[in-house]
Structure 1
Amino acid sequence: MTDENSTAATSSSSSSPSPPSILLPNLPNDVALQCIARVPISHHPILSLVSKSWRSTVKSPLLYAARSLLNSTQHLLYLNIRINSSFHWYLLDQNPTNPKKSRILSPLPPLPSHPIGSSFSVLGSKIYVIGGAINENPSNSIWVFDCRYNRWEMGPKMRVCREFAAAGAINGKIYVMGGCLVDNWARSMNWAEVFDPVEGLWCGVPSPIEVRDKWMHASAVIGDKMYAMADRGGVVYDAVVGEWGGVSTGMDMGWRGRAAVVDGVLYCYDYLGRIRGYDVEEDEWKELEGVGKGLPKFLCGATMANVGGKLFVVWEGKGSGKEMEIMCAEIEVRKEMGGMLSGSIVWSDVILVVPNRSSIVHCAAVGL
């Protein structure tokens, strides 16, 4: 072969598209993808070290789609903790085949700004940090943490600046309400807003004057309804039919602190520090039986989340010298015959040691 022919052949081969990288030898890539999709999330950093093609696969939306189809989605707990004057995010990951072992608490990239009094919501694989005050000025900013790629990004701003608002996700959209003064037309018309991720826009949700309280100290989504507790009673919004109403007196009197919904039951702690559950249909609070000896009295509060159908409780434990323990418990909850609520503690342990005077801001569950 002449030099010209050799050069032409080299040029031709370099210009032709390279074949796709083989993920696993002797297997089509679509089959290999299903194999990789079965590996727990905690092992993904190791998988990404195998090759460039594996690193690309681990970050690909196709992998998360495959995990969903294979029912391999893993639910993870994310924690937001205030240490001194800064906010820190952590991921609690555990081996789904043996939840008593391999619990890993990993620090996450810091939020670029540090608003106080933000609201939180989870939509898909993203955590939304909504509003909050910066230098005592309420903000309409939205920060979004993409849990698939471990990175923060700015989201579309709300129409109204808010702090201590109610927030929740219903049918693929995020609803917020309250947390703002209703002292002009714009705030009045946008006292409640909804965010559609497909459109990427916030829109006002019409609301009657009588529900427009300023501060919301707790909120939760049960079914297609969002419940928000205000300084004076509370409100409920049915996102399907677009109707507003008031919460029952029983719900209002028993709701204290941050709550989580598991199988349609709203769990929080009462004034005696015990965990109780509220059933909307029965309009009654009931103590969660079976966990009293394994958990302390939550007189200083606790934060809760529904992690894959289990009730996770996170609280500030005992301090020693200049340090304090962050405790966590996983509870399997059940609604027995006759309506009684019972629970069994799967595990309870220290997950983090932080300086004294630190505080738990929020915890959220994300399925990946």
Structure 2
Amino acid sequence: MRLGKGFQFELYLQGEPLIPGLPDDVALNCLLRLPVECHTACKAVCKRWHFLLGNKERFFTSRKELGFKDPWLFVLAFQKCTGEIEWQVLDLTNFSWHSIPTMPCKDNICPHGISCVSFPSEGALFVCGGMMASDVDSPLDLVFKYEIQKNNWTVMKKMNTARSFFASGVINGMIYVAGGNSADLFELDSAEVMDPAIGNWHPVASMGTNMASYDSAVFNGKLLVTEGWLWPFFVSPRGRVYDPITNTWENMALGLREGWTGSSVVVYGHLFVVSEHERMKLKVYYPDNDSWETTQGPPLPEQICKPFAVNAYDNIIYVIGRYLHVAMGYISKRNETGSSENKWRFSVEWQVIDGPKLSDLTPSTSQVLFA
């Protein structure tokens, strides 16, 4: 067991054992598994427990030093009546909720139009852009970084262009943003990239068309951007695909953009969409024939009401609905006899996790981090 010197000195001050009858290293391993929602009560047990559990930074830093790598679902949510935003976190091991500090915003930010990306293994997420709650015609160029081990926010260097309702994604450790709305809801064609290790934003190739983003995904090393279907549905939605290797954009395949009718995730190297239509069934895209197929299994559980926030980890899709109820979709795959080697069939089974007690929150976006 390796601990930071300061922490080790404080934690191992002479006194009563952490848990009577257990060696301190075993007891520490047990305490670091306690749900965060229990910390307020548990830290009153003794001074040593208070030192460990009275500070989220110390708790998560200790977990990192001991090699814990459990998933946590971070949800940016808002009160529907007031528009006030907050971050709620679901412990995906104990299925308990807790909150984190608010973002360091000088002005109230509208819960819509924000883009969020993450580096799960590093326990870090980035919040980019959006718009002011008092003036939706004024997009923002702000960028905030949250680190779970530090349990705090850092203000990063601003994007070159203020934007809302734009595409974002992480490719090879670089953060890309593209399109979106500028002032007076004028659609942008610009795109830019940031290396998180340096923090500076640099322009990349123009999209070639002005477009706000309905949804986006990183698929096969490329950034996919769709504007989604627009009423009255007379014209097929536009879609663009960015290749960071060649720094070029191209049109999205017709079947891909026409069938993209919901929020996307990538699981098993395949693009899935939780459809907002079609009885809210899950469907998967097959690039070989530019087509979508509905996965086997039930539709999204009735407890999960729109609007959604969607994310994924490993073979599990997380769909967060009103009141922050979470549907966990377990994806399984099989290769049918007689099908080509890469022609996988998929099915889904759902499990519902209740949102925080007495919650009247609506999700905006979500990310999975490890700690």
Aligned residue for 1:296? 302
Q: Does 1:261 align with 2:266?
A: yes
Using a 3 Å threshold, how does the CA distance of structure 1 residues 335 and 266 change in structure 2: closer, same or farther?
Answer: same
Q: Is the 8 A contact 2:315 2:332 kept in 1?
A: no
TM-score by length of 1: 0.74
Do 1:330 and 1:348's aligned partners in 2 also have CA atoms closer than 8 Å? yes
Letter in 2 for 1:163: S
Mapped pair 1:220 → 2:217:
yes
- The separation in 2 between residues aligned to 1:221 and 1:41, in whole angstroms, is 34
Residues 1:121 and 2:117 aligned together: yes
Structure 1 residue 125: deviation in Å? 1.6
Instruction: Output the CA distance in 1 between the equivalents of 2:130 and 2:6.
Output: 50
Inter-CA distance 297–348: structure 2 relative to 1 (3 Å threshold): closer
Deviations 1:176-219 (A, max 9, x none): 00114599xxx76xx111110111211111235x2x32311111
Report if aligned partners of 1:40, 1:74 keep a CA contact under 8 Å in 2.
no
Q: TM-score scaled to structure 2, two decimals?
A: 0.74
Q: 1:281-320 to 2 correspondence within 5 Å?
A: 281-292=288-299, 295-296=301-302, 300-316=306-322
- 1:276 is aligned to 2:279: no
Q: Which amino acid aligns with 2:326?
A: C
Distance in 2 separating the partners of 1:299 and 1:283: 30
Deviation at 1:103, TM superposition (A): 1.6
Which protein shows a greater Rg? 1
What secondary structure does 2:355 align onto? strand
Quick one: structure 1 residues 50 and 132, their matched pair in 2 at CA, closer, same or farther if it must change by over 3 Å? Answer: same
Is 1:237–2:242 an aligned residue pair? yes
Say if 1:22 and 1:152 are closer, same or farther in 2 by CA, change over 3 A: closer
Residue 307 to residue 49, structure 1, CA distance change in 2 (3 Å): farther
Q: 1:49 to 1:300 in 2, by over 3 A?
A: same
Of 334, 355, 363 in structure 2, the residue corresponding to residue 351 of structure 1 is 355
1:311/1:329 Cα in 2 relative to 1: closer, same or farther (>3 Å)?
same
User: 2:256 aligned with 1:251, yes or no?
Assistant: yes
Q: Show the 5 A alignment for 1:1-368.
A: 21=9, 36=29, 39-40=32-33, 42=35, 49-50=48-49, 58=59, 60=61, 64=64, 67=67, 72-83=68-79, 84=81, 85-95=83-93, 102-113=94-105, 114-116=108-110, 117-123=113-119, 124-134=122-132, 135-136=135-136, 137-181=138-182, 191-207=190-206, 210=208, 212-230=209-227, 232-270=237-275, 271-272=277-278, 273-292=280-299, 295-296=301-302, 300-316=306-322, 325-338=323-336, 339-345=344-350, 347-352=351-356, 358-368=361-371
- In structure 1, what is the Cα distance between the partners aligned to 2:11 and 2:357? 40
Task: Write the letter of the residue equivalent to 1:179.
Answer: G
C-alpha offsets along residues 113-153 of structure 1, whole Å, 9 cap, x if unaligned?
Answer: 34231111112322211111112311111122222222222
The structural deviation recorded for 1:88 is: 1.8
Structure 2 unaligned residues grouped into runs of 5+: 14-23, 229-236, 337-343
Q: Secondary structure at the match of 1:252?
A: helix
Counterpart residue type for residue 215 of structure 2 = A
Three-state SS of the structure 2 residue aligned to 1:111 is: coil
CA contact (8 A) 2:205 2:249 kept: no
Distance 1:250 1:178, change over 3 A: same
